[in-house]
Chains A and B, each alone.
Chain A
Protein backbone atom coordinates (compact mmCIF):
# COMPACT_ATOMS: atom_id res chain seq x y z
CA UNK A 1 0.00 0.00 0.00
CA UNK A 2 1.25 3.43 -0.94
CA UNK A 3 -0.49 5.18 1.91
CA UNK A 4 -0.05 5.00 5.65
CA UNK A 5 -3.48 6.04 6.82
CA UNK A 6 -7.02 6.54 5.66
CA UNK A 7 -6.65 10.31 5.66
CA UNK A 8 -3.70 9.96 3.32
CA UNK A 9 -5.82 7.82 1.02
CA UNK A 10 -8.46 10.54 0.99
CA UNK A 11 -5.90 13.27 0.45
CA UNK A 12 -4.18 11.52 -2.49
CA UNK A 13 -1.13 13.71 -2.04
CA UNK A 14 -3.20 16.87 -2.36
CA UNK A 15 -5.17 15.69 -5.39
CA UNK A 16 -7.95 13.97 -3.44
CA UNK A 17 -10.71 16.18 -4.84
CA UNK A 18 -9.68 15.45 -8.43
CA UNK A 19 -9.02 11.72 -8.06
CA UNK A 20 -12.07 10.86 -5.96
CA UNK A 21 -14.47 13.01 -7.94
CA UNK A 22 -13.44 11.25 -11.14
CA UNK A 23 -13.79 7.85 -9.45
CA UNK A 24 -17.24 8.86 -8.20
CA UNK A 25 -18.46 10.07 -11.57
CA UNK A 26 -17.16 6.96 -13.37
CA UNK A 27 -18.96 4.58 -11.04
CA UNK A 28 -22.10 6.74 -10.90
CA UNK A 29 -22.43 6.76 -14.69
CA UNK A 30 -21.68 3.02 -14.91
CA UNK A 31 -24.29 2.31 -12.25
CA UNK A 32 -26.90 4.41 -14.03
CA UNK A 33 -26.16 2.61 -17.28
CA UNK A 34 -26.39 -0.81 -15.59
CA UNK A 35 -29.65 -0.04 -13.81
CA UNK A 36 -31.20 1.41 -16.97
CA UNK A 37 -30.16 -1.64 -18.99
CA UNK A 38 -31.26 -4.18 -16.36
CA UNK A 39 -34.74 -2.70 -16.07
CA UNK A 40 -35.14 -2.42 -19.85
CA UNK A 41 -36.48 -5.97 -20.22
CA UNK A 42 -39.21 -5.47 -17.62
CA UNK A 43 -40.21 -2.16 -19.13
CA UNK A 44 -40.49 -3.74 -22.58
CA UNK A 45 -42.50 -6.69 -21.29
CA UNK A 46 -44.88 -4.40 -19.41
CA UNK A 47 -45.34 -2.26 -22.51
CA UNK A 48 -46.02 -5.29 -24.67
CA UNK A 49 -48.45 -6.67 -22.06
CA UNK A 50 -50.44 -3.44 -22.03
CA UNK A 51 -50.47 -3.45 -25.83
CA UNK A 52 -51.62 -7.04 -25.91
CA UNK A 53 -54.39 -6.43 -23.38
CA UNK A 54 -55.59 -3.47 -25.41
CA UNK A 55 -55.53 -5.53 -28.59
CA UNK A 56 -57.47 -8.30 -26.83
CA UNK A 57 -60.08 -5.84 -25.59
CA UNK A 58 -60.48 -4.34 -29.06
CA UNK A 59 -60.97 -7.74 -30.67
CA UNK A 60 -63.41 -8.76 -27.93
CA UNK A 61 -65.38 -5.57 -28.47
CA UNK A 62 -65.41 -6.22 -32.21
CA UNK A 63 -66.76 -9.72 -31.67
CA UNK A 64 -69.41 -8.40 -29.28
CA UNK A 65 -70.43 -5.71 -31.76
CA UNK A 66 -70.72 -8.21 -34.56
CA UNK A 67 -72.77 -10.47 -32.32
CA UNK A 68 -75.07 -7.57 -31.41
CA UNK A 69 -75.56 -6.64 -35.06
CA UNK A 70 -76.26 -10.26 -35.90
CA UNK A 71 -78.79 -10.54 -33.06
CA UNK A 72 -80.63 -7.40 -34.21
CA UNK A 73 -81.12 -8.84 -37.65
Chain B
Protein backbone atom coordinates (compact mmCIF):
# COMPACT_ATOMS: atom_id res chain seq x y z
CA UNK B 1 0.00 0.00 0.00
CA UNK B 2 1.38 3.40 -0.83
CA UNK B 3 2.18 5.74 2.05
CA UNK B 4 -0.66 8.20 1.36
CA UNK B 5 -3.27 5.45 1.46
CA UNK B 6 -1.66 4.00 4.54
CA UNK B 7 -1.89 7.38 6.24
CA UNK B 8 -5.54 7.83 5.34
CA UNK B 9 -6.36 4.32 6.51
CA UNK B 10 -4.52 4.99 9.76
CA UNK B 11 -6.38 8.25 10.35
CA UNK B 12 -9.78 6.67 9.72
CA UNK B 13 -9.15 3.59 11.82
CA UNK B 14 -7.86 5.65 14.74
CA UNK B 15 -10.83 8.02 14.43
CA UNK B 16 -13.28 5.12 14.70
CA UNK B 17 -11.39 3.52 17.59
CA UNK B 18 -11.17 6.81 19.49
CA UNK B 19 -14.84 7.56 19.00
CA UNK B 20 -15.77 4.02 19.96
CA UNK B 21 -13.71 4.24 23.13
CA UNK B 22 -15.21 7.63 24.00
CA UNK B 23 -18.79 6.48 23.52
CA UNK B 24 -18.07 3.16 25.19
CA UNK B 25 -16.65 4.73 28.34
CA UNK B 26 -19.47 7.28 28.44
CA UNK B 27 -22.08 4.54 28.22
CA UNK B 28 -20.25 2.50 30.82
CA UNK B 29 -20.29 5.45 33.21
CA UNK B 30 -23.95 6.06 32.52
CA UNK B 31 -24.89 2.41 32.86
CA UNK B 32 -25.26 2.63 36.61
CA UNK B 33 -27.73 5.50 36.60
CA UNK B 34 -29.08 5.49 33.09
CA UNK B 35 -32.46 4.07 33.94
CA UNK B 36 -32.93 4.09 37.75
CA UNK B 37 -33.69 0.43 37.40
CA UNK B 38 -34.37 -1.63 40.52
CA UNK B 39 -35.38 -5.18 41.28
CA UNK B 40 -37.71 -5.87 44.23
CA UNK B 41 -34.83 -6.99 46.48
CA UNK B 42 -32.85 -3.88 45.56
CA UNK B 43 -35.75 -1.70 46.66
CA UNK B 44 -35.98 -3.41 50.03
CA UNK B 45 -32.28 -3.99 50.68
CA UNK B 46 -30.46 -1.45 48.52
CA UNK B 47 -28.45 -2.05 45.37
CA UNK B 48 -25.64 -4.56 45.62
CA UNK B 49 -22.43 -2.65 44.87
CA UNK B 50 -20.25 -5.74 44.90
CA UNK B 51 -17.69 -6.74 47.59
CA UNK B 52 -20.44 -7.16 50.16
CA UNK B 53 -21.52 -3.50 50.30
CA UNK B 54 -25.02 -2.34 49.63
CA UNK B 55 -25.98 1.02 48.22
CA UNK B 56 -28.66 3.41 49.36
CA UNK B 57 -32.25 2.33 49.14
CA UNK B 58 -34.56 4.42 46.97
CA UNK B 59 -36.42 7.16 48.83
CA UNK B 60 -40.14 7.42 49.17
CA UNK B 61 -41.50 9.70 46.47
CA UNK B 62 -38.72 8.75 44.06
CA UNK B 63 -39.50 7.92 40.44
CA UNK B 64 -38.06 4.61 39.45
CA UNK B 65 -38.35 1.59 37.22
CA UNK B 66 -38.75 -1.87 38.62
CA UNK B 67 -38.48 -5.24 36.95
CA UNK B 68 -39.49 -8.65 38.28
CA UNK B 69 -41.88 -11.54 38.07
CA UNK B 70 -45.57 -11.25 38.90
CA UNK B 71 -46.14 -13.45 41.95
CA UNK B 72 -48.69 -16.20 41.28
CA UNK B 73 -52.00 -15.68 42.95
CA UNK B 74 -51.22 -12.09 43.92
CA UNK B 75 -53.20 -10.26 41.25
CA UNK B 76 -56.21 -8.46 42.65
CA UNK B 77 -58.47 -6.67 40.21
CA UNK B 78 -61.12 -4.16 41.12
CA UNK B 79 -64.68 -5.12 40.23
CA UNK B 80 -65.69 -1.62 39.20
CA UNK B 81 -62.71 0.02 37.49
CA UNK B 82 -59.31 -0.74 36.01
CA UNK B 83 -57.51 -0.68 39.35
CA UNK B 84 -55.22 -3.63 39.74
CA UNK B 85 -52.75 -4.61 42.41
CA UNK B 86 -50.14 -7.33 42.36
CA UNK B 87 -46.90 -8.41 43.95
CA UNK B 88 -43.58 -8.47 42.18
CA UNK B 89 -40.60 -10.60 43.19
CA UNK B 90 -37.19 -11.61 41.91
CA UNK B 91 -35.28 -13.78 44.39
CA UNK B 92 -37.50 -13.57 47.45
CA UNK B 93 -38.59 -10.17 48.77
CA UNK B 94 -41.86 -8.92 47.35
CA UNK B 95 -42.97 -5.43 46.38
CA UNK B 96 -46.57 -4.38 45.81
CA UNK B 97 -47.49 -2.57 42.62
CA UNK B 98 -50.67 -0.54 42.27
CA UNK B 99 -51.78 0.39 38.81
CA UNK B 100 -54.77 1.88 37.09
CA UNK B 101 -54.96 1.17 33.40
CA UNK B 102 -55.04 -1.49 30.72
CA UNK B 103 -52.47 -4.22 31.21
CA UNK B 104 -50.60 -5.57 28.17
CA UNK B 105 -51.79 -8.86 26.65
CA UNK B 106 -48.71 -10.66 27.87
CA UNK B 107 -49.42 -9.76 31.49
CA UNK B 108 -49.90 -13.01 33.38
CA UNK B 109 -49.02 -14.44 36.72
CA UNK B 110 -45.45 -15.66 36.55
CA UNK B 111 -44.62 -13.28 33.68
CA UNK B 112 -41.69 -10.87 33.80
CA UNK B 113 -42.77 -7.24 33.75
CA UNK B 114 -41.23 -3.79 33.98
CA UNK B 115 -43.15 -1.04 35.74
CA UNK B 116 -42.46 2.64 35.98
CA UNK B 117 -43.80 4.73 38.81
CA UNK B 118 -43.34 6.38 42.17
CA UNK B 119 -42.39 4.68 45.42
CA UNK B 120 -45.23 5.55 47.80
CA UNK B 121 -44.26 3.33 50.74
CA UNK B 122 -41.08 1.39 51.41
CA UNK B 123 -42.49 -1.61 49.57
CA UNK B 124 -45.28 -0.15 47.44
CA UNK B 125 -45.13 1.46 44.04
CA UNK B 126 -47.81 3.45 42.33
CA UNK B 127 -47.14 2.58 38.70
CA UNK B 128 -47.89 4.90 35.81
CA UNK B 129 -46.90 2.30 33.21
CA UNK B 130 -46.74 -1.48 33.25
CA UNK B 131 -44.90 -3.23 30.42
CA UNK B 132 -44.62 -6.94 29.86
CA UNK B 133 -41.24 -8.42 29.06
CA UNK B 134 -40.90 -11.68 27.21
CA UNK B 135 -37.89 -13.85 26.53
CA UNK B 136 -36.30 -14.59 23.19
CA UNK B 137 -37.80 -18.04 22.91
CA UNK B 138 -40.48 -18.71 20.37
CA UNK B 139 -42.24 -22.05 20.09
CA UNK B 140 -45.64 -23.51 19.34
CA UNK B 141 -47.94 -24.10 22.34
CA UNK B 142 -47.71 -27.91 22.16
CA UNK B 143 -43.91 -27.77 22.33
CA UNK B 144 -43.99 -25.32 25.23
CA UNK B 145 -46.27 -27.64 27.12
CA UNK B 146 -43.92 -30.55 26.55
CA UNK B 147 -40.69 -28.70 27.27
CA UNK B 148 -41.67 -26.34 30.04
CA UNK B 149 -44.63 -28.19 31.42
CA UNK B 150 -46.71 -25.04 31.25
CA UNK B 151 -49.95 -24.49 29.51
CA UNK B 152 -50.21 -20.89 28.53
CA UNK B 153 -53.71 -19.68 28.20
CA UNK B 154 -54.50 -16.11 27.62
CA UNK B 155 -56.64 -15.07 30.58
CA UNK B 156 -58.76 -12.95 28.27
CA UNK B 157 -60.38 -15.89 26.53
CA UNK B 158 -63.65 -16.73 28.16
CA UNK B 159 -65.49 -19.97 27.61
CA UNK B 160 -67.01 -20.23 24.18
CA UNK B 161 -64.56 -17.78 22.63
CA UNK B 162 -62.05 -20.30 21.42
CA UNK B 163 -58.52 -19.20 20.66
CA UNK B 164 -57.56 -19.28 16.98
CA UNK B 165 -54.77 -21.77 17.54
* Direct A–B touching, Cβ under 8 Å: yes
By a beta-carbon cutoff of 8 Å, the part of chain A in contact with chain B is: 2-3, 8, 11-14
B30 adjacent to chain A (CB < 8 Å): no
- List, in ascending order, chain A residues with CB within 8 A of B164's CB: 2-3, 8, 11-14
B163 adjacent to chain A (CB < 8 Å): yes
By a beta-carbon cutoff of 8 Å, the part of chain B in contact with chain A is: 163-165
Give the complex CA separation of A12 and B165 in angstroms: 9
Give the complex CA separation of A2 and B142 in angstroms: 13
Give the complex CA separation of A11 and B165 in angstroms: 12
Q: What are 10 of the A-B contact pairs (CB < 8 Å)?
A: A2-B164, A2-B165, A3-B164, A8-B164, A11-B164, A12-B164, A13-B163, A13-B164, A13-B165, A14-B164
Q: Which residue of A lies closest to B164 (CB)?
A: A13
- List, in ascending order, chain A residues with CB within 8 A of B163's CB: 13
Q: Which residue of A lies closest to B156 (CB)?
A: A14
Give the complex CA separation of A8 and B165 in angstroms: 10
- List, in ascending order, chain B residues with CB within 8 A of A11's CB: 164
- List, in ascending order, chain B residues with CB within 8 A of A8's CB: 164
